[in-house]
Amino acid sequence: MGKVIIKKLKIKTCHGVNDFEKRQPQLFEFSAEVTCDFYEAAQNDEIAQTINYSTVCKIITAVATQNVFNLIETLASRCAEAILDNFPKATAVKVRVEKPQAPVRAKFKTMAAEAELKRVTAYLSLGSSMGDRKAYLDFAVKELAATRGITVKKVSSYMESEPYGGVAHNKFLNACVEVNTYLPPRALLFEIHRIEAAGERSRTLRWDDRTLDIDIIFYGREVICEDGLTVPHADYANRPFVTEPLKEIAPDFICPATGMRVKDILPSPCGGEEA
């Protein structure tokens, strides 16, 4: 693994909270570190097999000059996203935006913000127990694939299961999806909730029948325990409607919480509580 590094790319453009900053161009300086495997490029001396830093400069320039943002945080984030969108070989990127002429009444060398994104493999569970269940799962897969920052890699077979949690009455249709994403966990969760809402998901009663349910089961090798977000999913191992489709598309994935391979996970005979 290696990095292609660009430092202090100078661009005059308009960004800032104040009205005059949106009209009067000022100097910004951009630095970027793009992580990729350029072993083949080094062996073959072939630019097509690495990250073309000239193209990176053009991407940053386009984002910086074709938009007007209030915050350099937004500017840095949009540049990082655009770089990953244009270079599938890139596994991570860090973009630093400096604003040496920031209108701040203080002595300083520069003001700056950094955005850092990395690609991870995540596994999601899909479920539906109302209406045209297959159509809702198809809709979820299509919407995930159309979301910026998410690439759908694998989709399991659709499997029917009995309701779980003691409230729902209808049988579910379930599946698991492998995605590659540079969205941070909270951003991924936000997009999942957006897709659920677009799929007519109602949250009036916990564990009830629903048109569409999407859960994050794994997010790379991360273990997350936050308000509203637990990864790996707290109860996934007790749910055959999750583990069986997972075994189909990711049998050798190792759960970061338990160290067990997915194919070796057996549901607890006592079951578990749905989150």
85 catalytic per annotation = no
Catalytic residue among 78, 119, 133, 210: 210
Cα 132–134–137 angle (5° rounding)? 110
203 catalytic per annotation = no
Catalytic residue among 133, 213, 235, 239: 213
Catalytic residue among 138, 201, 208, 261: 201
Q: Which residues contact 218 (CB under 8 A, 6 or more apart)?
A: 121, 122, 123, 231, 232, 233, 253, 255, 256
Catalytic residue among 133, 215, 235, 239: 215
215 catalytic per annotation = yes
Q: Are strands 26-36 and 2-13 parallel, antiparallel or unpaired?
A: antiparallel
201 catalytic per annotation = yes
Q: Which residues contact 154 (CB under 8 A, 6 or more apart)?
A: 177, 178, 249, 250
* DSSP letter assigned to residue 22: H
- As a whole number of angstroms, the distance between CA 146 and CA 161 comes to 28
Q: Which among 191, 172, 173, 171 is positioned nearest to 181, based on CA atoms?
A: 191
Active site residues: 201, 210, 213, 215
